[in-house]
Structure 1
Amino acid sequence: MTTTTAHAFDTAISLTDNGIGHHSAQTTPEFANMVGPFGGVTAAAIVRAIEQHPDRIGEPVALTVNYLAAVTDGDFDIAVRPVRTNRTNQHWTAEVTQEHGPTTTATAVFGLRRDAWSDTEATMPDAPDPESVAHTTLPGPVPWMRNYDMHYVAGGVPTEPAESASSTTTLWVRQRPARALDFAALSALADVFYPRVFLRRGRMLPAGTVSLTTYFHVDGTELAAQGTDYVLATAQAQRFARGYFDQAAQIWGRDGTLLATSHQIVYYKD
């Protein structure tokens, strides 16, 4: 007899259908962050909810998630609604709620991709193969990070109180245990970076993502071709000012395919 255990990520984004566009879910301790669950797993659950909607067309093109308040441990609800469907794209709204009110809102664009001229102007960062870079055991009680196999090429988590002139972090990363990459997992990877202010200041500070936008640059076939391999993730802030900083990130396949880019604004206290 063979017993199959669900991957922790799939358990974390598992949804119960409560009617068209309405789902219930539950936080899991494996994806807990310092306050509430890992924001990337909340984004992934929203993507999964839209994917399961019977009126959905196409695949993710863009996702913006606004984090209003921390999701508390326990049950939460996700409601998704198609606002408008055009010939090649479809616009969605989503809301995550708990007993105390809404915690997360989102908008998404799904679309049908067609053959067209294509080019990539961005350049994949130079990096040694992940197998030649030591796995990083991350300090501190942040459970969600244990679900990722991280090999930092540059800008690793500060372990000594020393400021850095650069906010750039680059790492090879994949889920642990390895899991085939899909759009939900890619949505979570867009938020896999620790706050840039930690690196610049050389220490942990109160910080949290306020809004995260991810752009998906591949279709399902291209994404499936990545299999369970590592992806190269790189992120950099552009300005820290009056308690907020931005972050621009890229997610690359080992084969040089730009899978996704993201931008987020983060609150911090210093």
Structure 2
Amino acid sequence: MTHHFDDAISLAPQGEGVMTGATSPAYANFIGPYGGITAAQVLNAVLQDPRRVGDPVALTVNYAAALADGAFSAHARPARTNRSTQHWIVELRQGDETMIVATVMTAVRRDTWSGHEAHPPEVPPPADVPRTPRQRVEWLNRYDTRFITGLMPRHWEGQGGAESLTRLWVRDEPLRPLDFASLTAMADIFFPRLWLRRATQTPIGTVTMTVYYHTDAAQLAATGTDYLLAQAKGQGFRNGYFDHAGQLWNEAGELLATTHQAVYYKE
């Protein structure tokens, strides 16, 4: 039996640069699919393409419209290929409509000086943090999450906090070795920062999401099925849109990815 995640991101080739897939009930959100699984499907369209050069460095997904439950086609093309870098344009379409527009940059990395300034905070280990109970929204049940701080409000009374910081441990449920696609999905693990700030169930929708990869296949394989420490905090909230910045480290404290989102909200 294949893992829920692999089933969800599975794409069937239909010719050069065209694949077909479908949304997955296992990753259903309030309405439509979980945005992280859509981002992983976009990335997988490039990862599976035999024309790909190198590994992912950056991914930006623009959610132009909400994917409806059901089939879609993925159209991927390398807009430019250089000696060691490649720039892709990917669209997910349903019928004649473009629902998702994305760009992916891949590269063949060279051994150079490396270092990070985004250091993991001091937090208790996963075993010392209670597991989040099963949720009504299906995609949340695909993850073992353990919130350290910034859990979703329990009382929606419009009395939020002064900041929107969330920290949690997360890994796939059931266990699955980490790779670029699953790391991409986990980069969207955060519920809307606006809900934490305001404790009001304001309608929202992610309009764009970017992931920067600070890892390689060997480091992901070494991370295996361990937990990731995920952190996100809002930055600006204004006139219907807000953004957040996030980071994901493995249990060894190695930075694997950073992420940014812009989210629409309605009063």
- Same-fold status (TM-score > 0.5): yes
Looking at structure 2, the residues matched to 99 and 56 of structure 1 have their Cα atoms a distance apart, in angstroms, of 26
Alignment of 1:139-158 (within 5 A): 139=135, 141-158=136-153
* SS of residue matched to 2:116: coil
Pick one of 107, 124, 127 that aligns with 1:111.
107
1:236 aligns with 2:233: yes
Preserved contact between residue 49 and residue 78 of structure 1 (Cα < 8 Å) = yes
Deviation at 1:204, TM superposition (A): 2.1
Q: Which residue of 1 aligns with 2:215?
A: 218
Question: Secondary structure at 1:42's aligned position in 2?
Answer: helix
Residue in 2 that maps onto 1:197: 194
* Structure 2: runs of 5+ lacking an equivalent: none
Q: Report the counterpart of residue 227 of structure 1 in structure 2.
A: 224
Q: SS of 2:40's equivalent?
A: helix
For residues 44 and 234 of structure 1, the distance between their equivalents in structure 2, rounded to whole angstroms, comes to 19
Instruction: Give the aligned partner of residue 95 of structure 1.
Output: 91
Correspondences of 1:69-88 after superposition (within 5 Å): 69-88=65-84
Deviation at 1:166, TM superposition (A): 1.2
Q: Distance in 1 between matches of 2:132 and 2:153?
A: 12
How far off its partner does 1:20 sit?
A: 1.4
In 1, Cα distance between equivalents of 2:96 and 2:75? 16
Structure 1: gaps spanning 5 or more residues = none
Deviation at 1:100, TM superposition (A): 5.2
Match for residue 54 of structure 1?
50
Measure the CA separation in 2 of the matches of 1:263 and 1:28. Answer: 24
Q: Secondary structure at the match of 1:238?
A: strand
Q: Contact conserved, 1:138 with 1:157, CA < 8 A, in 2?
A: no
Any runs of at least 4 consecutive aligned residues in structure 1 with deviations exceeding 6 A, and if so which? none
Q: CA deviation at 1:138?
A: 5.5
Match of 1:41 among 37, 41, 54: 37
- SS of 1:41's partner is helix
Which residue of 178, 181, 188 corresponds with 1:181?
Answer: 178
Distance in 2 (alpha carbons) for counterparts of 1:18 and 1:80: 12
How does the TM-score come out when normalised to structure 2?
0.97
State the alpha-carbon separation in 1 of the partners of residues 34 and 70 from structure 2: 14
2: distance between equivalents of 1:138 and 1:157?
14
**Structure 2 counterpart of 1:131, one-letter code:** A
In the alignment, what sits opposite 2:116? 120
Within-5 A mapping of 1:250-265: 250-265=247-262
Q: Find the residue that maps to 1:157 and give its secondary structure.
A: coil
C-alpha displacement at 1:203, in angstroms?
3.1
Question: What secondary structure, in the 3-state scheme, does the structure 2 residue paired with 1:50 have?
Answer: helix
Question: RMSD across aligned C-alpha pairs, in angstroms?
Answer: 1.0
Q: In structure 1, give the amino acid aligned to 2:193.
A: R
Q: 1: distance between equivalents of 2:237 and 2:266?
A: 11
Give the number of equivalent residue pairs. Answer: 265
Q: In the alignment, what sits opposite 1:14? A: 10
Q: What is the TM-score with the length of structure 1 in the denominator?
A: 0.96
| Correspondence for 2:154 | 159
Amino acid of the structure 1 residue aligned with 2:132: T
Deviation digits for residues 68-113 of structure 1, max 9, x if unmatched? 1110011001010011111111000000000251110000100011
Q: Kindly provide the amino acid, as one letter, of the partner of residue 254 in structure 1.
A: E
